[in-house]
Structure 1
Amino acid sequence: MFHKVESLESIISIIPIIKASIPADLSIAVCDMEKFVAYFPSEDINLNIKTGQTLNPKEPLAVALRENRSLREDVSADFYGFEFTGTANSIQDKH
């Protein structure tokens, strides 16, 4: 299920606060249905995602967005060079 927000920019603006508040080394990405619109690497995990980078349609994140579901899944090294556990939540602007 999509979570409704005013805009993706409203989410992006609070990510530094979220990262500072959670006692874990997180890498956080924000994307629309086609591309990454923001990326905040962690100290230990840098997926080298660039703003504007197209989502790989086979990547678990893209699948979760298309299927409108939350995700917690191991991501193959085929996508970013090393394996990691990814989580995702679908959000949608209210407009």
Structure 2
Amino acid sequence: MSKKKALCMQCREWSTNTKVCEHCGYIISQEIKDDIKREEELKLNPPKPPSKLKKAMEYLRTSKNPLLKVLYYVLMGIWMFYAGIVMLIMYLAASVVG
């Protein structure tokens, strides 16, 4: 059975370790590079905390009180009705243009 080898782009040597070059320590694996890049982006741009409205809606959705759940579904129904009207107006405006 043959072993996999990877070519290091830094030192141009073949390495039996497909993740990190055993000669110069350069990272060969694209998955490891992507993970490092993702971690750096998270350090620079941490995720924003949820807004008060989002927290309130999540509380209503997961509440054990049936009245609060009904309130959640009523609010979501009103929101979907509003979104439907806006989409209909946008569709009509786009169809008039061409």
Please give the TM-score of this superposition, normalised by the length of structure 1. Answer: 0.20
Structure with bigger RCO (C-alpha 8 Å, 6+ apart): 1
Structure showing the higher strand proportion among its residues: 1
Structure showing the higher helix proportion among its residues: 2
